[in-house]
Amino acid sequence: MSDQLNTNGQEYEFNPDAVDSIDQSSVEGGGPSYPIIQWVYADLKAKKFGGMDYMGGLFIKADKVDGAVLEAAGWAKTSRTFENGTEEEGYWKREAAVSIIAERKRWEIAPNGGQRQTFPWTGFEKAKEANGGKSPSSRTHYLVLVKGLEAAGPFVLTMKGAAGAAFESYRDANSVISRFANTVIAAANTASDAAAKKNGKPSGKRWAYRAFWLPVGAARNEKGEPIYKEVGKAPNTTNVVLPVALGLPDKAANVDLKRFYVGNDLLAFVNALFDQSSDWRTAWENIKPGTVEGNGDAAAVEERAEKDAEDAVLAATGL
């Protein structure tokens, strides 16, 4: 048998600290692997630098997707530096429109600042016990297509902590998913119910999120300046930029479905991706608990201004 580890005289001293450079959400063992999109919280102290460090948003590592493809879709080349000094090259976009194909959830702990341990979603109590009685953190992965990057295939948008809650807290009517479900999805369901009744068909069928583009990005005010929110418990608090749904009207009745619908061809594609993602969706269900991982009057003018703002942010996401 040939020596598959023949190094031709080249050997490298193992550096255990180099594990800090590994994006832990990308470690193998969680089903099929896809390029990761991370959320960047931003930092108030980076105001003079601007860009991703101050505004927050979405980040993709440079070695995961062809840079030319990302830049053509409006992603800016940048880098981020972690607390341990490790620097990571990648691409940033403040906002994007995504089709959410599937999701999976798990619990994570890092007792006493040690290595991260993972638990299945059904293992909350075990995770809490292993964490010394403290509640574990949740992590959610969303399998998505990104508008403008459809040909690049699926990505995984990873969310946890404050960003995860801002993205998918069903107890918060202003979370990204709540706003999307209560406007775009609700409008689509209503329209399909009406069409079914008109054609003498049974109503009540519901639309999946993947059939529509969800515009999401870093929170900002009417001037485009980042909005920071204090998170954590005193004295361990920090100010961060969280994800928000962009350009969505307040009411489902005001949604222009043509602007959000992915189209019949792409719908067939994302439906097929959902069917093919079974192994990915269920991989975390089998985690061994504790696994270490690495218009005229004032009212009309105000309405027009709101519509202009919606149009502007939707255009920025590609809708």
Distance of CA 154 to the CA centre of its chain: 12
CA dihedral 69, 75, 314, 139 (to 10 degrees): 100
Out of 100-104, 129-133, 288-292, which region has the weakest mean confidence (pLDDT)?
288-292
List of residues 6+ apart from 182 with CB closer than 8 A? 173, 252
DSSP strand pairing (155-160 vs 36-40): parallel
Average pLDDT over residues 16-21: 57
- Which tens digit of pLDDT belongs to each residue from 214-227? 999 999 999 999 99
Predicted structure pTM score:
0.85
Residues 168/157, Cβ–Cβ less than 8 Å: no
Does the structure show a pLDDT above 70 at 167? yes
What is the DSSP code (8-state) at residue 285?
A: G
Please tell me the distance from the alpha carbon of residue 186 to that of residue 128, in angstroms, as a whole number: 36
Closest CA relative to residue 257, chosen from 175, 186, 168 = 186
Does the structure show a pLDDT above 50 at 234? yes
Cis peptide before 215 (omega within 30 of 0): no
CA 22 to each of CA 10, 71, 82, 139, 287: distance values in angstroms, whole numbers, following the listed order = 23, 24, 12, 17, 20
- Sequence ranges of the domains in the chain: 30-106+139-317
Q: Is the dihedral of CA 257, 258, 264, 267 positive or negative?
A: negative
Report pLDDT for 165: 94
Report pLDDT for 28: 46
